[in-house]
């Protein structure tokens, strides 16, 4: 992402935005943003379970499924996932749902998900929003935008 941001700033300075890989930036940023909001319970429970499965071997939970021949009592794999993860999901959802930062994250995530028909100028604005979001909320991508911007501006001054 570091290079994508630098390339974006270079294309902007040079007036060559038509050559910039907008889609590459959007795909990479959207994936990381989705992980960020998903890990804090801001999407669906199903999305949360899919996210959490990166850290736990949830397939092991299948051994706890149960089907009774006599009582009609059944515990499906989905039931087990609900029992194990729903409490944490609800806690995250409740805790972060009111956060203004997470509201902004969700707005930008929605815009990224609906980017198909954007014109170039709208794409530029959307990348600016993504960079600003990283700068203000942090921990979406592994880049310190402020330090990167200072270094970039120093290099531009040297070139001028």
- The model carries a pTM of 0.84
Domains identified in the chain, total number: 1
Distance of alpha carbon 6 from alpha carbon 156, whole angstroms: 11
Is 11 part of a structural domain of the chain?
yes
Is 102 part of a structural domain of the chain?
yes
Residue 24: which domain range? 2-53+95-159
Residue among 145, 134, 41, 56 nearest 96 (CA) = 41
Is 131 part of a structural domain of the chain?
yes
Is 82 part of a structural domain of the chain?
no
Is 74 part of a structural domain of the chain?
no
pLDDT above 90 as % of the chain: 69
Torsion angle in degrees (nearest 10) through CA of 52, 54, 55, 58 = 70
Is 36 part of a structural domain of the chain?
yes
Confidence of residue 93 (pLDDT cuts 50, 70, 90): very high
**What's the rounded mean pLDDT across residues 81-98?**
93
Confidence of residue 106 (pLDDT cuts 50, 70, 90): very high
Is 9 part of a structural domain of the chain?
yes
Which residues are within 8 A (CB) of 65 and not within 5 positions of it... i.e. 6 or more apart?
Answer: 75, 76, 77, 79, 80
Is 78 part of a structural domain of the chain?
no
């Amino acid at each position: 992402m570091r290079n994508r941001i630098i390339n974006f700033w270079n294309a902007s300075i040079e007036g060559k935005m038509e050559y910039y890989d907008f889609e590459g930036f959007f795909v990479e940023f959207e994936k990381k943003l989705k992980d960020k909001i998903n890990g804090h319970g801001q999407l669906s429970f199903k999305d949360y379970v899919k996210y959490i499965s990166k850290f736990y071997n949830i397939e092991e939970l299948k051994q706890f499924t149960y089907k009774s021949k006599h009582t009609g009592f059944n515990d499906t794999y989905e039931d087990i996932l609900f029992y194990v993860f729903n409490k944490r999901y609800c806690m995250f959802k409740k805790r972060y749902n009111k956060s203004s930062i997470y509201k902004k994250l969700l707005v930008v995530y929605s815009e990224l998900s609906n980017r198909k028909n954007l014109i170039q100028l709208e794409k530029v604005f959307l990348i600016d929003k993504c960079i600003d979001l990283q700068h203000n909320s942090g921990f979406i991508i592994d880049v310190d935008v402020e330090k990167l911007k200072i270094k970039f501006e120093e290099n531009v001054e040297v070139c001028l």
